[in-house]
Amino acid sequence: MQRRTFLTGTLLGAAFAAAPVTALTTTGAHAATVTVSSIADLQREIDRAAPGDRIVLANGTYTVPTNGIRISGKNATGNHITIVSQNRGGAVLQGERGFVLSNSHGITISGFAFRQNQTLVIPADCSDIRLTRNDIQHADVAGRDWVVVKADNVKIDRSFFHDRTTEGCFLVADGPDAPVDPDRKTMVKGLHIFRNHFARHSYGGTSGGEAIRLGASHRALDNAGAIVEYNLFEECNGDNEAVSVKSCGNFIRYNTLRTCKGGIVLRHGNGSLVHGNHLIGGVEGIRLYGNDHKVFNNHLTGLTKRALVIGSGSARDHLPGDSEQEQQANDAVDRALITHNTLVNNWRCVAGENHPERPHEPRNVVLSNNILVGGSGGLVEMGHNTGFTWQGNLLWGSATNGNIPAGGFVRTDPRLQQGTDGVFRLASNSPAIGAAVATSHAVTDDLDGHLRGSSRDIGSDQYSTAVPVRSPLTATDVGPNAA
For residue 157, the Cα-to-chain-centroid distance in whole angstroms is 11
- 212-270 pLDDT tens trace: 999 999 999 999 999 999 999 999 999 999 999 999 999 999 999 999 999 999 999 99
Count of beta carbons in the 10 Å neighbourhood of residue 98: 24
**Degrees (nearest 5) of the Cα angle 148, 241, 377?**
170
Q: What share of the chain is helix, strand, coil (3-state, %, to 5)?
A: 5, 40, 55
pLDDT confidence band for 51 (50 / 70 / 90): very high
Shortest CA distance to 313 belongs to which of 322, 301, 302, 304? Answer: 322
Q: Does residue 14 carry a pLDDT above 70?
A: no
Homologous superfamily, domain 135-477:
Single-stranded right-handed beta-helix, Pectin lyase-like (2.160.20.10)
Q: Return the pLDDT at 321.
A: 83
Q: How far apart are the first and last CA of the chain?
A: 32
E strand spans, 117-271: 120-122, 127-132, 135-136, 147-149, 152-157, 160-164, 171-173, 192-194, 197-201, 212-215, 227-229, 232-236, 241-246, 251-253, 256-258, 263-268
Question: 416 vs 34, 275, 296, 344, 392, CA distance in Å?
Answer: 56, 20, 18, 10, 17
Q: Return the pLDDT at 322.
A: 85
Q: Return the pLDDT at 181.
A: 44
Question: 456 vs 52, 435, 474, CA distance in Å?
Answer: 48, 7, 29
CA distance 23 to 55: 14
* Segment holding 328, helix H or strand E: helix 324-328
pLDDT confidence band for 324 (50 / 70 / 90): confident
CA distance 312 to 330: 7
On whether the CB atoms of residues 309 and 330 are closer than 8 A, the answer is no
Q: Return the pLDDT at 109.
A: 98
CA distance 62 to 68: 12
pLDDT confidence band for 99 (50 / 70 / 90): very high
List, in sequence order, the alpha helices (H) in 2-96. 11-17, 39-47
Q: Return the pLDDT at 184.
A: 54
Q: Does residue 2 carry a pLDDT above 80?
A: no
In single-letter form, the type of residue at position 332 comes to A
Provide the β-strand partners of residue 72.
Answer: 102
CA distance 273 to 271: 7
CA distance 293 to 331: 13
- 165-177 pLDDT tens trace: 999 999 999 998 8
> Taking all residues of the chain, what is their mean pLDDT, rounded to a whole number?
92
* Segment holding 99, helix H or strand E: strand 99-102
- The answer to whether the predicted template modeling score (pTM) of the entire model surpasses 0.85 is yes
Q: Does residue 414 carry a pLDDT above 90?
A: yes
- 345-354 pLDDT tens trace: 999 999 999 8
CA distance 171 to 244: 11
- How is the chain split into domains, by residue range? 1-118, 135-477
CA distance 385 to 342: 22
